[in-house]
Chain A
Amino acid sequence: MERPFVEISGVAMRYGGVEGTLALQNATLDVGKGEFIAVVGPSGCGKSTLMKLVTGLWPATAGTLLVAGQEVDGPLSIAGMAFQNPTLLPWRNIIDNVMLPLEVVEPHRRQLRRQRAMYEAKAQDLLKLVGLGGFDKKFPHELSGGMQQRASLCRALIHEPALLMLDEPFAALDIFTREDLWAVLQGVWMARKPTVILVTHDLREAAYLADRVLVMSSRPGRIIAERVVDLPRPRTLETTYTPEFVSLVHDLREHISAARKGEEVVHGQ
């Protein structure tokens, strides 16, 4: 069998020294190459902590973390990130925002000046893919929240990262925009097949997008359940009304409720 792309084993994170809060405990999970996984859990369960550890923004206090077979010991340039807020730079127009990673990540950084036209075309294609064609010269404040989030997604993808980390990227959007963007994200993933780790507290979002959903307990976070989603792709909004989908969401829901009360669901599948 092929080696998993992301291997997380026994990872823990404690803030503020030995006496500090334990945010994450004994997290163990593998993510295959090109797989889309979602991590759900009650708020404050250490989902975002997991994100920061995998991207190397923070060092873990215990356990080992391997991405592409290599120990994570600093920020990973093979990862693209999108956060709950679009975090676009307000002084740059959309295309310059999308191209920001190219100014930082090697080898693009060296080639950017010479091959600007090629990179710009690439950025335009991405913008079209998420439905932002023609908005490239607009500034972030001229776009709605959903459009900004689309641009943020493009920025996470422009340097063709092998690993896409999404930290509640749609949490600040209204439900209609969110559902639109699910389809957009699914389209991007099916077209490019990056490995995706999506952190969310929206169970329908997790079930719609992911191949596999992991449920975390409340703080200190542990992984308490795992569900494989074998619904056919591309999934549509219609899918979300099928009995399989509904019962999956229901099942996840039960685990979350239990996690919030601090107990585990005993009954099996």
Chain B
Amino acid sequence: MASDATLPAAAAVTTRPAPADPTMSPEAMRRLQALALAQRRRRRLQAWLPWLVIIGMFVIWEAGVRAFNVQQFVLPAPSAIAESMVKWWVPLLDNSWQTLMTTLIGFFLAVIFGLLLGVAIGSSSLLYHGLYPLLIGFNSVPKVAVVPILVIWFGIGTVPAVITAFMISFFPIVVNVATGIATVEPELRDVLRALGAKPSDIIRKVGLPRAMPYFFASLKIAITVAFVGSIIAETVAANKGIGHLMILASSRFDVPLVFAGLIVTAVMGVAMYVAAVAIENRTTGWAMRGQNDQQITVPGV
């Protein structure tokens, strides 16, 4: 058991692990190093690629707007949007903070209730059959149609936005957690049942851990749609938030500011998504095997 820094079995398909082996021929060593180098280059490219694509998109956009002389109130150039961002940075920051907070509150409520309900309907087929049609119906209702009702109940402000974000991000979490728990392999369940485990033991020791990859996959969806929810509510009825700001800006035909709002929203969405992925990788690495393992190690490199 001397091979500690080497790779797991999955990666052994591509190359063998390379402990400092003095008997290795220089030729083989060189080939291995070349492979490792090529792979590192590939990784570096992979890390930079998203940025290159985004910058490329803005460059093409700018060039297109200038070449065809597009009016600013139709499609503003990125430079005009940036200018608007600098000019209005205080209200942009203020309102996006408001949106971020409402979204996160709604999202966390959805996580808590989604987990609880997901575990419940995933582990009891009675609850599943009883509640599923209602959940589907609930999810099919267009959320934008619910906002006016929420406004009647809670008035204009933060609460309708929080509730809309909650409603829209709740469903994917419930469905995924329930699926994860309901699809536990019968053999795994038998292992515990044969030991005399109680149903609650089985959920705790097998169901929940097994549902975690499903849960985190749903978080990535839920956090992005939570933004959709809160911004919908803000555009319909609010006195603060990035959605409200965009509505105000468009009513003044300040299209660059509308686009600035869109970009800020996109940045927040991506940032939350990345955070969800980071948590996912840390907690459920076991489910991702074989994707991150493909690395070649070379002694002394």
Contacts and interface: CB of A to CB of B under 8 A. Distances in A.
A85 interface: yes
Contact of B196 (A90, A105, A141, A144): A105
B226 to A, nearest CB: 27
B286 A91 contact: yes
B298 interface: no
B205 A144 contact: no
Contact of A75 (B8, B188, B195): B195
B192 A83 contact: no
A239 B202 CA distance: 43
A142 B3 CA distance: 12
B37 interface: no
B232 to A, nearest CB: 37
A142 B10 CA distance: 7
B80 interface: no
Which of A79, A89, A104 has its CB near the most chain B CB atoms (within 10 A)?
A104
Q: For the side of the interface on A, what is the size category?
A: 20 to 34
Contacts of A75: 193-197
B197 A104 contact: yes
Contacts of A105: 195-196
A141 B187 contact: no
A75 B187 CA distance: 14
Interface string B5-45: 00011100000000000000000000000000000000000
Contacts, number: 72
A77 B286 contact: no
Given A104-B205, A141-B9, A142-B8, A89 B197 contact: no
A100 interface: yes
Nearest to A161: B195
A237 interface: no
Interface string B180-199: 00000101101111111100
A81 B194 CA distance: 7
Interface string A76-111: 110101010101011100000000110111000000
A144 B192 CA distance: 23
A70 to B, nearest CB: 14
B201 interface: yes
B194 A144 contact: no
A143 interface: yes
B87 interface: no
A55 interface: yes
Interface in A171-187: none
A104 B187 contact: no
B75 to A, nearest CB: 49
Nearest to B8: A142
A55 B194 contact: yes
Contacts of A77: 195-196
Interface in B91-143: none
Interface residue SS majority, chain A: loop
Contacts of A83: 187, 190-191
Given A100-B205, A135-B1, A141-B10, A87 B187 contact: yes
Nearest to B213: A91
A119 interface: no
Nearest to A87: B187
B10 A81 contact: no
A165 B195 CA distance: 12
Interface string B191-228: 11111110001000110011010000000000000000
Which of A100, A143, A159 has its CB near the most chain B CB atoms (within 10 A)?
A100
Interface in A145-204: 155, 159, 165
Contacts of A141: 8-10, 286, 289-290
A74 interface: yes
Nearest to A143: B9
Contacts of A76: 194, 196
B70 interface: no
Interface in B253-301: 284, 286-287, 289-290
A159 B195 CA distance: 10
B9 A144 contact: yes
Given A141-B286, A141-B289, A142-B9, A57 B194 contact: yes
Closest 4 CB pairs of A and B: A134-B1, A77-B196, A142-B8, A75-B196
Given A83-B187, A83-B190, A89-B205, 12 more contacts: A57-B194, A75-B196, A77-B195, A85-B187, A87-B190, A91-B210, A100-B205, A103-B201, A104-B196, A104-B197, A105-B196, A139-B286
Interface of A: 55-57, 74-77, 79, 81, 83, 85, 87, 89-91, 100-101, 103-105, 134-135, 139, 141-144, 155, 159, 165
9 contacts: A76-B194, A77-B195, A77-B196, A81-B194, A83-B190, A85-B187, A134-B1, A139-B289, A141-B8
Interface of B: 1, 8-10, 185, 187-188, 190-197, 201, 205-206, 209-210, 212, 284, 286-287, 289-290
